[in-house]
Structure 1
Amino acid sequence: MPWSTHEIAELAGTTVKTVRYYHEIGLLDEPDREPNGYKRYEIHHLTRLLQIRRLTGLGVSLTQVAAMGTDTDGHASVFRTIDAELKATVERLQNIRQELATLSEPGASADVPTGFSGVAEQLRDNDRALLMIYAQLFSDESMESVRRTLEARPNLALDEEFRDLPEDADEAARQALAEKIAPFVNGATTDHSVTLEPRSSTPRQVRAAQSAVGHALEALYNHAQLDVLRRAHMISTANGDARSVSRDESKESPGDDSTA
């Protein structure tokens, strides 16, 4: 018994408009017509329509369905590709759910990276903004090191002194603060060393990340604070070089080879 367009659409769980669209793009053959001009859909039309509906329901695009045709040899690769895409989507959704669960906890904050809510209270707005940028640009391992350092709060008073440094701080104040901060730069004299490793792998992406951090620092901290960080880095580097030279000299120092 042949079916009309409305009937076959209803049987397949779709719409007349969809059936006509499948005809238009060549996915579904046009049926013969009755003498009165009405279409006559047969079993093979219904099975093809059900196949299309099944494939699209599994995530196969209409373009892929058209390319697959009736030859099943190439179907497996299409299904594997879609399965890989679905796996990535599931993982992304699981991460989203985990993030939402974390943000739902008491005291959680959306303006710091995941895992930093416990240290958010001691941070100011510019610190929080910088952490969000860091989380985008640097590896998870780097951010975990940052979190541990903030959690340990190695010198809270020094942190506050730096944050309160005014734009017009004089030369002496900048130098004094830089000398206080220098031992903490790169974990030189503490157990809280932080090495920021970019997420990006290509040289161009690394340069872009470094440039973004530079712009962020300039936007979030005043010139006096940036000058202090620059000085502290120079002092720390110089002290590190001096220690290295001292160790080398001690290794090369000859022993007492005097003779009686």
Structure 2
Amino acid sequence: MGWSTREVAELAGTTLRTVRHYHEMGLLDEPERLPNGYKAYRTEHLVRVLQIRRLTRLGFPLATIATMEGGESEHLEETLDVVDAELTATIQKLKEARKEIAKLRRQPVPTDLPFDISAAATRARLSHADRSLFAVISHVIDGDDTQHWQALLQDYEPDDATDEFDTLAPDADEETRERIAQRISPQMRALLEKHPRSPHTAEHAAAGQQAATDAVIKAMLDLYNPAQLDVFVRIWKATGLI
């Protein structure tokens, strides 16, 4: 008599759902059924489950294991190279995560942004709306360009004009909008000139530029009122962004 699905799962240190998933993916042959309809797994099935488990622990994707006849691959060396490269990337990400956790222990800051950007945004006293917009921009434009965004925020100096912008009423008059835009524009222009985005960053962003632009526009429509959006447009025109 063989093992039941539950028994073979327990012996292999996995779950019923996992064993069933292996069947669904064609990784594990279906065992014979007993007269009462229950499955009867044999040693070959247990060995196969143990093999799949070992390969997954090594980092092999299930889709790759499915192409390995009897657990072997005609292109084993290439497969190992791919898996090893993926593991190296994962290890690097985990190292970076641990570094950020250590920084958060030393200096707790909001986790809406990567640590270095969040710390700079906190020092810059960004409003909730500005932080939220920065979170979207720094991710969809180029999530790896942390130093650029950090540098911008480190040199940003909030003042009465930015405070007035944060509390600007939706129906603010033309004169007020223009006055705020004219006061904020010089600092924005200076920041952009001092910290231009690198050509590599611009090229990287170009591939998904439309989707990124759409995401930023949607975020701004959610975060700012009509008068504030109008001030943004005026600042962009003054700084040559549009």
TM range (shorter): 0.5 to 0.7
Q: Do the aligned partners of residues 83 and 5 (structure 1) sit closer, same or farther apart at CA in structure 2, a change above 3 Å counting?
A: farther
Map of 1:113-132 to 2, 5 A cutoff? 113-115=114-116, 116-120=118-122, 122-132=125-135
* Cα shift readout 1:155-176 (whole Å, capped 9, x = no counterpart): 5233223223222221111122
Question: Which stretch shows the higher mean deviation, 207-216 or 45-54?
Answer: 45-54
- The structure 2 residue matched to 1:158, chosen from 158, 161, 180, is 161
Shift of 1:99: 2.7
For normalisation by structure 2, the TM-score amounts to: 0.66
* 3-state SS of paired residue (2:109): coil
What are the equivalent positions in structure 2 for 1:167-186 lying under 5 Å apart? Answer: 167-186=170-189
CA distance in 2, matches of 1:57, 1:149: 42
Matching residue of 2:92:
91
> Percentage identity across aligned positions?
29
Matched with 1:80 is 81
The corresponding residue for 2:211 is 208
C-alpha distance after superposition, 1:22-45 (max 9, x if no partner): 99x6879x9xxxxxxxx998xx99
Give distance in 1, aligned partners of 2:216 and 2:143: 17
- The aligned counterpart of 1:225 is 228
- Unaligned runs of 5+ residues in structure 1 are 31-38, 239-260
* CA apart distance, 1:113: 3.2
* Further displaced range: 46-55 or 224-233: 46-55
Task: Measure how far apart 1:207 and its partner are.
Answer: 0.8
Q: Residue deviations 1:122-153, cap 9 Å, x none?
A: 12211111111112112357553333233223
Asked if the contact 1:137–1:209 (Cα under 8 Å) also holds between the matched residues in 2, the reply is yes
CA distance in 2, matches of 1:52, 1:153: 54
Work out whether residues 174 and 228 of structure 1, in 8 Å CA contact, stay in contact via their aligned partners in 2. yes
TM-score by length of 1: 0.62
Whole-angstrom CA distance in 2 between matches of 1:171 and 1:195: 32
**Is the Cα–Cα contact under 8 Å of residues 151 and 195 in structure 2 kept in the other structure?**
no
Partners of 2:197 and 2:121 in 1: CA distance: 19
Q: d(CA) in 2 for partners of 1:170 and 1:76?
A: 69
Instruction: Give unmatched runs, 5+ long, in structure 2.
Output: 32-40
Instruction: Look up the match of 1:249.
Output: none
Q: Output the amino acid matched with 1:69.
A: E
**1:21-100 aligned within 5 A:** 54-60=54-60, 64-65=64-65, 67-69=67-69, 73-100=74-101
Q: How much does 1:64 deviate? A: 4.5
RMSD of aligned Cα (Å)? 4.3
Q: Computing the radius of gyration over CA atoms, which structure comes out larger, 1 or 2?
A: 1
| Contact 1:102 1:108 survives alignment (8 Å) | no
